[in-house]
Amino acid sequence: MAFIRRSKPNPQPTSGTFTPRPRLPSASAPTKPREREAGESSRTFLARAASHLRAAAMATVMQKIKDIEDEMARTQKNKATAHHLGLLKAKLAKLRRELLTPTSKGGGGAGEGFDVTKSGDARVGLVGFPSVGKSTLLNKLTGTFSEVVAAYEFTTLTCIPGVIMYKGAKIQLLDLPGIIEGAKDGKGRGRQVISTARTCNVILIVLDAIKPITHKRLIEKELEGFGIRLNKTPPNLTFRKKEKGGINFTSTVTNTHLDLETVKAICSEYRIHNADISLRYDATADDLIDVIEGSRIYTPCIYVVNKIDQITLEELEILDKLPHYCPISAHLEWNLDGLLEKVWEYLDLVRIYTKPKGLNPDYEDPVIVSSKKKTVEDFCNRIHKDMVKQFKYALVWGSSVKHKPQRVGKEHELEDEDVVQIIKKI
């Protein structure tokens, strides 16, 4: 006898109309782009579709970054895992570069309110979490009215510039919007904030005196993830690609972080199979990756601890002893002169006074040059690009010469507050 299985009828509600529950889209994945709407131009539709694809690609990269960070957190650090961790760090650096590099003309530019023309002799950026007092500090130092300074988060939404005239130098000061955790991964407006920070000669990380260490570590992590190295010098290692010969790894010191296999793994991740690598100190995998990436910025940084009027004298004494720290109270204008002096020290600028023939030196309007580019030729280029072509020799008064004056050539390096008279060709 054959048995016939009968399907059970779908239960129906006893009253009312049955409405199936809509399926919500996943929060981690972008929703599917709409079809082209009536009246929508092809250009608008294509731009919307391209934006959707960029968002989908970014979500994928961010997930890969999270997976690698989770794996690194689970992995113990020892000699046996050094090779694996080095490879993960190389993959992580590549993914972050992919995430933070603009994919199109309109996909990752400066953004509205961030396109501030660089002006003056130096640029200083104020970076910090919302409501730590950056806008108040800018107002006190420059007289620039940023916005209504409120005690709630996300007050400043754009990049606000101001100018300080200090020791004859024109210093541009930028109040950047409050940074949020995850900025290095493209969250919020973090990309625009840190991109602008990369153009600064000195970064001021403004911290709340109530929780300075917690905020300091989080901001450092965000800036490091964007390739900004604070108060560091470039790695003292040589990396040179070649056409053949494999990876040649040499070192003048004992290495505790890198070996040949780790170096090969990192290079292989970048599809580099032939290169000469020479170490002059005990470098890490991060140092090698920084050199290979070649896009790192090494910027002096001052940790400005604001609202010191809200902490005890004992806590203030501890902060005052820490390196690169400057305690202030922007609201009460405490130690703002000390902050300006520290900014000047970290900018490391050189003032050169001009002396026209037969006249006294002009001590009111010095020519400002960097301490790394302070030759007579650099001085001439700051005045006018054609001056070097007409240059014959220079007379210098100051600490850079033995005699007063002394005749020098364009290769001579000047010192702060030297006086220079340029003699041109006839």
For residue 56, pLDDT over 70 is answered with yes
Q: What is the pLDDT of residue 196?
A: 85
For residue 187, pLDDT over 80 is answered with no
Q: How would residue 194 be classed by pLDDT, with cut points 50, 70 and 90?
A: confident
| Residue 95 vs residue 242, higher pLDDT | 242
What are the tokens at 274?
A: 């032939």
Q: Find tokens 């793994």 and name the residue.
A: 265
For residue 156, pLDDT over 80 is answered with no
Q: What is the pLDDT of residue 134?
A: 92
Q: What is the pLDDT of residue 116?
A: 78
Q: How would residue 197 be classed by pLDDT, with cut points 50, 70 and 90?
A: confident
Q: What is the pLDDT of residue 59?
A: 77
pLDDT digits (tens, 9 = 90+) for 372-409: 999 999 999 999 989 999 999 999 999 999 999 999 99
Q: What is the pLDDT of residue 14?
A: 47
Beta bridge pairs of residue 169: 166
pLDDT average, residue stretch 124-140: 92
Q: What is the pLDDT of residue 182?
A: 59
Determine whether 117 is exposed, middle or buried from the number of CB atoms within 10 Å of its CB (0-12, 13-18, 19+): exposed
Q: How would residue 34 be classed by pLDDT, with cut points 50, 70 and 90?
A: low
Rounded percentage of the chain residues whose pLDDT exceeds 90: 56
Q: What is the β-pairing status of strands 362-370 and 349-354? A: antiparallel
Helices and strands of the chain, counted as H and E runs? 10, 16
For residue 126, pLDDT over 60 is answered with yes
For residue 287, pLDDT over 50 is answered with yes
What are the tokens at 51?
A: 């934006």
Q: How would residue 176 be classed by pLDDT, with cut points 50, 70 and 90?
A: confident
Helices (H), ranges, 18-133: 42-74, 79-100
pTM: 0.79
d(CA 280, CA 233): 14
pLDDT digits (tens, 9 = 90+) for 306-365: 999 999 999 988 888 889 999 999 999 999 999 999 999 999 999 999 999 999 999 999
Distance of CA 57 to the CA centre of its chain: 24
